[in-house]
Structure 1
Amino acid sequence: MRRRHAMRIVAGYAGRQIHRIRERREAALRLQVWGRGLAARRVVASLRRTREMVVSATVLQAWARERQARRTLAALRRARQIVWSVMIMQAWAKGFQAR
């Protein structure tokens, strides 16, 4: 009777150990799967990006053109401002000279 009790205790301990090992293995597997999922997600994201790039190559070109146009417009505006300021300065200098 006592032996059976001892066996049960030992069995319980062993069962707990097995359970713990299994849990650890499952956790490791889950981590692996999660890492794989992350990698897969990354791959999917890159694929989506490439697909978007393929789809929006023309869009990107248009966007680049637009940006270039905006930049040139900004540069023109800046140049115009500079020209204006120079002209004002010259007029002011002329007035100063004439005075």
Structure 2
Amino acid sequence: MTDPLQRFRLDYAPLLLRHLAQRDESGLQAAYQLGRRAMQESVGLLDVVRVHNDLFLEVLTTARRVDEAAELAGAASTLLIDLVASFEVAQRGFMDTRLTVEPD
């Protein structure tokens, strides 16, 4: 059985590659859902970003031109933002709860 971080990496790699090739809304939605699952499985935000960075750097070596590399970077960045949006939503929920429980 794979641990949650390994499973995340195995699920994220094809998602990243597909999104870089197609750049559609379904990839962004899948990234958000994968981020939610990672968070539920206690995969940390830094681990998520590290996996993204490692995989993206591998993909970046395939770029043949500077403009192609820039396009890949933009698409990968958009996917990462949607992926970590679930962490942001959870953090905001935590902060809102904390503010209502702990008065000024």
Q: Which structure has the greater CA radius of gyration?
A: 1
Which structure dedicates a bigger proportion of its chain to helix?
1
TM-score by length of 1: 0.32
TM value normalised by structure 2:
0.31
